[in-house]
Amino acid sequence: MRVLFVCLGNICRSPTAEVVFRQKIADRGLLTEVEIDSAGTGGWHAGNAPDRRAIVEAEQRGLSMTGRARQVTASDLRDFDLVIAMDESNRRDLLALATDDEIRERVQLLRDWDPEAAGHDRGVPDPYYGGAREFAEMFDIVDRACERLADDVATRLSP
């Protein structure tokens, strides 16, 4: 299975989801069965490392955040089984790239898996213009949602 996380610039939310989800999949012994990547709807950060504040928060949680930002492509929508947007704006941008209904069905919101998202905005807040507190809150949301997403993927991969 292939899972792609997408935010606006691919330096905060989507690389966070990528590393958090990778750890949760590894904890379930499924790392060889799940390919995980991230991208941004915009290309202005392409080639850049993740935001330093995200790296610091990841390190405080025992995670290593590496990689370089890239822009999502139409072929990503064909190649990945799940394309997970961080907010509704990202989702709309992804749906605009989709060429058919089968591909559109692959595009989901991360907070669809967040047990605390009921009745709230379904988007993961963008911490870019905030500080350490906003990055910590974003990590908490991503962690909750990725826990359930990993359970869902494990169930899908069960024989």
Q: What domains can be seen in the chain, in order of their start residue?
A: 2-153 (3.40.50.2300)
Phi, psi for residue 37 in degrees, rounded to 5: -150, 175
Q: Could you confirm whether 152 is annotated as catalytic?
A: no
What are the start-end ranges of the E strands in 1-74? 2-7, 35-40
- Segment 129-136 shows an average pLDDT of 97
pLDDT at 119 over 90: no
Instruction: Name the catalytic one among 7, 93, 106, 111.
Output: 7
- Which of 51, 87, 93, 126 is labelled catalytic? 126
Select which of 12, 13, 37, 114 is catalytic. 13
State yes or no: is 7 an active-site residue.
yes
Bridge partners, 3 (sequence order):
36, 82
Q: What is the average pLDDT across 45-71?
A: 97
pLDDT for residue 120: 67
User: 140 pLDDT exceeds 70?
Assistant: yes
Other Cβ atoms less than 10 A from the Cβ of 33: the count is 12
12 catalytic? Reply is no
